[in-house]
Amino acid sequence: MGGYGTWALGAAYPEAFAALAPVCGGAATDPRVSSLAALRDMPIWNFHGERDKVIPISASEEVFRALEEAGAGRAGSASGSVHRFTRYKDLQHDCWTRAYNTAELWRWMRGSLSLAHPAVAALIAVRDANMNKSAAWRRTLSHWTCPTNPADSDQPCDPCSKDWSGNWEFIHCRGAQGPYGEGSVGKYDGMVTNVHITDQKLDGLPPRELCGLSHLRELDLDGSYFSGPFPAWTLKCFSMLQELDLSHNRLTGPLPADVSRLPTLQEFKFVGSIPSSFGDLPKLRVLRLEGNRLSGTIPSSLSKLSGVLNGLELANNNFQGDLSALASVRPMYVSIHNNPGLCGMVPAGIRFAHGYNPSNTRLGFPC
């Protein structure tokens, strides 16, 4: 196996390794290696003796040329300083003895483990899968590069920085155990907790690669051109999610009835009809559904949100029927206008909420 095996295994199973340290091997002409693209951002330290007559040093040189052709070291690549090549001018094939006795190699190995943090891997996956889709994607993700500023980083590639703000734009790390809210902070533990990519005019499907961010508390992707059905994976990947904002996109289809699987959810902003299971979200504080083509009646289950819901935005839709389901709800603000099918008596908690405006409805008139 040796150096050739190191390259072959790394290329075949890049997700299994934090770093590679091949010694006097090669891969560019190895039939087991179909592509080195998977190693573009892998930390690699290669060793080879210039006097090697068993495997000439040109084998290693060919690998590094292939890595460059795969995109390593280019703008947007994380590999600008994570690929290293040590050439021993005085050694033949046995260069592993000196390589393995290099103390810096083991320090480098330990440091490379931080590059393998699941959050870093997930964000790099988002970047690489979407960067070339459009100019809007390139503009949004162009600053997601490594290494990050050492003065504000706890590891060589640190999207989080040393406080909550994040080294990478649109990324925040407020601590996995912190309270709710964009300004909240917890213990700075290197966990990505907030992805706030808004008003960027991104197209295609919402990036499923975000699923790797298991500590996410806020996912805010509003103000783009995302299309397709509701991304049901958002309800399965983020057990700690407190805010999900997919409003002002081009998503279509019904909302999932199993939204209640996220009992931590406090803000939901999207399109679709209102499933009755929304009443089973004990912490739901904001329900923003305005400006879509929603229809149907207001589900009676929303009465369960009494004492919890403080923001209800239903304006500019096609809801029908009365508001009896909201009789016990006391939101701080509400938007209800431009729903011609709404009618009947208006509960006091709705009528006296900030923003109440019954224009272009039949509220106050018999259904």
Q: Which residue has the tokens 């919402």?
A: 206
Among 56, 80, 115, give the residue marking a domain's end: 115
13 plus 154 within the same structural domain: no
78 Cβ contact partners less than 8 Å away, ≥ 6 residues apart: 40, 41, 115, 124, 145, 146, 147, 157
216 plus 108 within the same structural domain: no
Residue pLDDT, tens place only, 287-310: 888 766 677 889 899 999 888 889
Among 97, 115, 133, give the residue marking a domain's end: 115
CA angle 196, 268, 326 (to 5 degrees): 155
124 plus 273 within the same structural domain: yes
175 plus 315 within the same structural domain: yes
Of residues 183 and 56, which shows the higher confidence score? Answer: 56
Residue pLDDT, tens place only, 41-92: 778 899 999 999 999 999 989 888 888 777 664 333 444 446 888 999 999 9
User: Tokens at residue 71, please?
Assistant: 């995109």
Mean residue pLDDT of the chain comes to 82
71 plus 198 within the same structural domain: no
What CATH number has the domain bearing residue 249?
Answer: 3.80.10.10
**Residue 89's pLDDT is what?**
92
30 plus 122 within the same structural domain: no
306 plus 168 within the same structural domain: yes
Neighbours of 145 (CB within 10 A): 18
Neighbours of 18 (CB within 10 A): 16
Among 99, 115, 131, give the residue marking a domain's end: 115
Mean of pLDDT values over 314-334: 92
CA angle 54, 17, 65 (to 5 degrees): 50
210 plus 95 within the same structural domain: no
143 plus 292 within the same structural domain: yes
What CATH number has the domain bearing residue 30?
Answer: 3.40.50.1820
211 plus 231 within the same structural domain: yes
Question: What total number of domains does the chain contain?
Answer: 2
Listed residue (105, 291, 261, 11) closest to 97, CA to CA? 105
Strand arrangement of the beta sheet that strand 203-204 belongs to? 203-204, 225-229, 250-252
48 plus 176 within the same structural domain: no
Give the single-character DSSP code of 20: B
Task: List, as one string, the DSSP characters of 85-151.
Answer: EEEETT--S--HHHHHT-HHHHHHHHHHHHHT-HHHHHHHHHHHHHTTS-HHHHHHHTT--SS--GG
Domain that holds residue 97: 2-115
145 plus 60 within the same structural domain: no
Please say whether the beta carbons of 232 and 256 come within 8 A.
yes
Evaluate if residue 271 carries a pLDDT over 60. no
